[in-house]
Amino acid sequence: MVFDGNAFALRVTVRCNAPAIGCRGELRAGGLDGSHLTARRDVSLRAGQSRRVFLRFTAEALDYGLRNAVDAGGAELTLAPRRGRSLRVLIGLRPVASCASGGETLASSRTIRVMRLTGFGDYGCLRPNGHPTRLTDGFERPIRISGQYVGGPVATGDGKYVSHGTAVAVFDVRARRRVRLRETAPTVTDLVLRPTGAVAWIERASDPGGWRVRALDDQGDRLLDAGPEIGPTFLQPLGAQEIAWTNGSERRAAPLR
Q: In terms of Cα–Cα distance, which of 104, 194, 190, 117 is closest to 150?
A: 194
- Sequence-ordered list of residues with C-beta below 8 angstroms from that of 8, at least 6 positions apart, any chain: 1, 2, 56, 57, 61, 66, 77
Whether the pLDDT of residue 107 is over 90: the answer is: yes
Whether the pLDDT of residue 207 is over 90: the answer is: no
Sign, Cα dihedral of 229, 230, 232, 233: positive
Alpha-carbon 210 to chain mean position: 29
Q: Does domain 2-95 have CATH number 3.40.50?
A: no
Q: Return the pLDDT at 82.
A: 37
Whether the pLDDT of residue 75 is over 60: the answer is: no
Q: Return the pLDDT at 242.
A: 94
Distance in angstroms between the alpha carbons of the first and the last residue of the chain: 56
The CATH number of domain 97-255, selected from 2.130.10.10, 3.40.640.10, 3.30.428.10, 2.140.10.30: 2.140.10.30
Q: Return the pLDDT at 74.
A: 29
Cβ burial of 145 (10 Å; 0-12, 13-18, 19+) is buried
Sign, Cα dihedral of 224, 206, 192, 114: positive
Q: Where are the chain's structural domains?
A: 2-95, 97-255
What is the pLDDT confidence band of residue 79, given thresholds at 50, 70 and 90? very low
* Dihedral, 19, 24, 25, 26 alpha carbons, nearest 10: 100
Are 2-95 and 97-255 the same fold in CATH? no
The span from the CA of 157 to the CA of 196, in Å, is: 27
Choose the most confident range, by mean pLDDT, from 14-18, 32-36, 183-187, 195-199. Answer: 195-199
The span from the CA of 12 to the CA of 24, in Å, is: 16
How far CA 174 is from CA of 96, 101, 130, 177, in Å, comes to: 19, 19, 9, 8
Length of the chain (residues): 257
pLDDT tens-digit profile of 111-148?
999 998 776 688 898 887 777 888 988 899 999 999 99
Q: Return the pLDDT at 19.
A: 64
For the chain, how big is the Rg over CA atoms in Å?
Answer: 23
